[in-house]
Amino acid sequence: MKIPPDETTLTLWMDDLLEGEDLQRMEAWAQQHPELLAERDAIQAMCQDIQATLPDSVEPPYPDFFNQRILTAIKEESPAPTRAAVKNSGGIWRWLAAPLAAGAMALCFYLGTQTSTPSSGITDQTVATLTPTVYTPDIGVQANIFVDKEQDATVIVIEGLQDIPDHLEMAGNPTVADPNKAMVSNEYVY
């Protein structure tokens, strides 16, 4: 074999799965490449170590539980009832189901057209007096919100936080590394 083997043939040879003429050609080619022979020996030794160490199969920790789950799944995937079984089931309710459903839909549609959307009752003056609130999980922490409509800006001032320890400061982060931008005494402005 003068042409190098493809990856599939090489892999089958490494796993000792080649037979017949393919095996003979590969062996002849591999004699010229001692590094492949060494690699094949290493792979086969590793496989033998793994087979000696690991058992062929392992019982699940709770076989009855798993068997019961498998049986339940099989029962759930049982085929749908046959047409004859469906034809004989239901009796009079089967004939009443469609008209009752149509009537219920018509009633809901009618009630939907009869209700009107009431006005919200919120005027511009009411909206102007509403202020958002901020929840803070710590009792000692207080947050205040200031809205400037002219500048289209919102400022949140948080009071009562402890200073950020030096070991948490990161270079390159302006809100942490530059105290003039981020902190005014114990107030952080975001």
Mean pLDDT over residues 89-115, rounded?
82
9 and 83 belong to one structural domain: yes
Q: What mean pLDDT is predicted for residues 4-22?
A: 87
Nearest partner of 32 among 63, 4, 9, 64, judged by Cα: 4
- Rounded distance, CA 145 to CA 135, Å? 11
Domain encompassing residue 54:
1-97
Q: How confident is the model at residue 185 (pLDDT cuts 50, 70, 90)?
A: very low
Distance CA 115, CA 46 (A): 78
Task: Name the pTM for this structure.
Answer: 0.30
pLDDT at 10 over 80: yes
153 lies in the same domain as 68: no
89 shares a domain with 167: no
Among 53-62, 64-73, 105-114, 120-129, which range has the highest average pLDDT?
105-114
85 and 10 co-located in one domain: yes
Question: In 10 A of CB 64, how many CB atoms?
Answer: 8
pLDDT grade for 142, boundaries at 50, 70 and 90: confident
Number of domains in the chain: 2
Amino acid 147: pLDDT: 82
- 125 in any annotated domain: no
Instruction: List all residues 6 or more positions away from 114 whose beta carbon is below 8 Å from its beta carbon.
Output: none
Q: For residues 90 and 136, state if they share a domain.
A: no
Q: Which of 110, 86, 88, 90 is nearest to 98 (CA)?
A: 90
In this predicted structure, what is the pLDDT of residue 84? 61
Which pLDDT belongs to residue 129? 55
